[in-house]
Amino acid sequence: MLLAFDVGNTHITLGAFSGDTLAFETRLASDRKRTGDQYAIELKDMIELNGYTPGDFTGAVISSVVPNLSASLKQAVTRLFGFEPLSVGPGVKSGLNIKIDNPAQLGADMVAGAVAAIAKYSLPCIVYDLGTATTISVLDRTGNFLGGTICAGVGVSLDALTSRTAQLPHISLETPAKVIGTNTVDCMKSGLLCGAAAMVDGMADRIEDELGEKTTLVATGGLAPEVVKSCRRDVILDGSLLLEGLRLIYERNQQ
C-alpha cells in the first residue's frame, strides 16, 4: 500500500492507496512545532484507526508547501515504516510539461493537481485549489501547464476581515441562502463564499478568452464544497484530486 501526504498551511491531507483505490483519507493539523516522533505516533494511530498496520505499507509520497513540516514528516515516515518517502519537487518525474518562466518554482501541490487532472478529465482544463491560498492552474488541450493565478483563500480573507475590523465577528463558513444578506453574519458569508464563487466563474471566463476555447473546470481543497455550491458554471468537485496526482507521480518514479 501507498501513503500520500498533501501538506498545506492549515492541514495535512493523508490518503492511503491499495493499488489504484483510495482506501481511506483523513486530515491532520499542520503544526510546525510538532516533531517527527510526534507525527509518527499520530500517523500510527490514524492508520490503526482505519484498520491497517504500518507493515501494510511499502511506500510514501509527499507534496508540501511548508518546508519545516516536510522534514518532520520525512522523519516520522522513516521512523514508523523504515523507508524514506518520495518528495515531489525538482528532479522528480511527474510527466508534466511545465511552461512557466521557472518550472522549478511551481508548487508541488499544483504539480500533483495538474497531473491528476490530465489523467482524469477532458482538456483544456482549469484546476481550482481552494485552501489557505486559492490557486488556479491552467492546462492546455495537449496537457501543458501554462501558468495560473494565486490569491488569498476564503479562510485567510475571513481572518483578515475579523482581525482588522472592530465589529465583525469570526463566523463559520457555510453557503448563505441568498446573496443579499439581511444581517451581519449572512452578509459576511455571502461576501466570502458567493464572492469566491463569482471569482471562480469570472476567472474561467477570462482564462477561456485568452485560450480561445472552452475548458473543463475542476475544484478541490477544503473549502471547495461550499464555494462550488454558489458557482454558475459547471464545476467538477474532486476532493481527492491531489492525492490521486501524488499516487501517479509515485508510480512514475518506480518504473
Residues forming the active site? 109
Rounded to the nearest 5 degrees, what angle is found at the Cα of 117, between the Cα atoms of 111 and 119?
Answer: 105
3-state secondary structure of 184: helix
Q: By the 8 A CB rule, do 179 and 229 touch?
A: no
Helix 241-252 vs helix 108-120: angle between axes, to the nearest 10 degrees?
Answer: 90
Q: List the grid coordinates of 16.
A: 492511503
Q: Are 217 and 117 in contact (CB under 8 A)?
A: no
Q: Contact 37/92 with Cβ under 8 angstroms?
A: no
**From CA 197, how far away is CA 247, in angstroms rounded?**
29
* CA–CA gap between residue 70 and residue 32 (Å, rounded): 9
HSE-CB of 249 using CA atoms within 13 angstroms? 35
